[in-house]
Homo-oligomer: A and B are copies of this chain.
Amino acid sequence: MKHPNVSITLPDWVESTIDLESTYGSDEEKMRLAVELSRQNVLRDTGGPFGAAVFERGTGRVVGVGVNSVVRLNNCTLHGEMVAFMMAQARLGCFSLKSAGGHEYELATSCDPCAMCLGATLWSGVTRVICGATRDDAVRLGFDEGPVFPESHAYLKERGIEIVHGVLRAEAGAVLELYHARKGPIYNG
Q: Which A residues form the contact surface with B (CB < 8 A)?
A: 1-10, 14-15, 20-21, 62, 64-65, 70-71, 73-77, 82, 85-87, 89-91, 93-96, 114-120, 122-125, 144, 146-147, 149, 151-152, 155-156, 159, 187-188
Contact = CB atoms under 8 A, between A and B. Distances in A.
B65 A89 contact: no
A7 to B, nearest CB: 6
A161 B143 CA distance: 18
A95 B146 CA distance: 17
B90 A4 contact: yes
8 contacts: A1-B62, A3-B87, A6-B9, A73-B95, A76-B123, A115-B115, A115-B116, A115-B122
A75 B95 contact: yes
A74 B87 contact: no
Contact of A4 (B91, B117, B147): B91
Contacts of A21: 1
A95 B74 contact: yes
Nearest to A155: B147
Given A76-B85, A119-B115, A90 B187 contact: no
A98 B169 CA distance: 32
Contacts of A120: 76-77, 116
A124 B89 CA distance: 24
B89 A75 contact: yes
